Structure 1
Amino acid sequence: MTNPTVIQNATIHDVADYFLDKGNMGTEEAITHLKLQKLVYYAQAWYVALNYGKKLFDSRIEAWMHGPVCPELYNEYRNYGYKEIERPTSSPEFIDGITEVLESVWEVFGSYDGKFLEELTHSEDPWINARKGLPENATSNKEIKIDDMKNFYSDYLN
């Protein structure tokens, strides 16, 4: 039996698979598309804050009406709508620093549903700053800035 490759440079799909593997269908830990988007966002945000602005993955996160969204991930999972997403066939393994951040994000946010996480992101500066000047229900593809994530979430660490 071969050992799985340990990932040093994560992609958005690696991070999504990690969280999907944690989810339990039919429980509060089930993962919908909305919840997945927010978990991936928080993984990026906390990784950036802990690693002085270094990104966990390179995919763009935008300030959509329902909170932070990675369009690349949206296109992959949008057909699920509000239904729970099943677990992937395998889960990625990361170097320790990445795993610690992902585990922490799961411990803090994993038991919340997507709507709660949406409301939470709506109260935080990175999403608010990216949507400045937009009506509440306006569509947008404005990117949430990495520096805004780093500055906002770093304040929690101090």
Structure 2
Amino acid sequence: MPSIYPVYAGYKWSTIPKADFDASALDEKATGVLDAVHNTYGELSGGQLESLTHSEDPWLGARGAFKPWELSTTPISCASMRRYYARKYEQSQND
């Protein structure tokens, strides 16, 4: 979401401080998703997360023909993320 980027962009590769959060506002499914994401990616640094996401199909597809150093403001579609991560999830379940 473009509106979120400016809020966190200044941290660059530094740790983003934890914010107070009321987990009771989430249902069991949402909590499960967040736990799975944290368990998979929670130990990675900002630089590692950037390298990972910038090598994945949703990011590459949104960038199209742009070179790595060229600015692109094309949003990554929710549909492309849904397809990609559903496929990755299915593959992990079959391993």
Higher strand share: 1
Instruction: Identify which of 10, 14, 21 aligns with 1:91.
Output: 21
* Number of equivalenced pairs: 88
CA deviation map 1:32-72 (0-9, x unaligned): xxxxxxxxxxxxxxxxxxxxxxxxxxxx3xxxxxxxxxx32
Q: Say whether residues 1:74 and 2:18 are aligned partners.
A: no
- CA displacement at 1:81 relative to structure 2: 4.1
The answer to whether 1:139 aligns with 2:71 is yes
Aligned residue in 1 for 2:36: 104
TM-score, normalisation: structure 1:
0.51
Unaligned runs of 5+ in 1: 1-59, 61-70
* Structure (1/2) with the larger helix percentage: 2
Aligned-pair CA distance for 1:92: 2.4
Give runs of ≥4 in structure 1 deviating > 6 Å: none
Counterpart CA distance in 1 for 2:10 and 2:74 is 23
Q: Distance in 2 between matches of 1:119 and 1:78?
A: 16
- Local SS of the residue matching 2:38: helix
Q: CA deviation at 1:82?
A: 4.0
Instruction: Pick closer, same or farther for the CA change 1:134–1:156 going to 2, 3 Å.
Output: same
Deviation at 1:109, TM superposition (A): 0.2
Query: For residues 128 and 78 of structure 1, do their structure 2 counterparts lie closer, same or farther at Cα, with a shift above 3 Å needed?
Result: closer
Aligned pair in 2 of structure 1 residues 115, 99: CA closer, same or farther (>3 Å)?
same
Separation (CA, whole Å) in 2 of partners of 1:124 and 1:75:
22
CA distance in 2, matches of 1:123, 1:82: 17
Task: Give the direction of change, closer, same or farther, for the CA distance of 1:95–1:129 in structure 2 (3 Å limit).
Answer: same
Alignment identity in percent?
Answer: 31
Q: Deviations along 1:97-125, whole A, 9 cap, x unmatched?
A: 11100011000000010111111112211
RMSD: 1.6
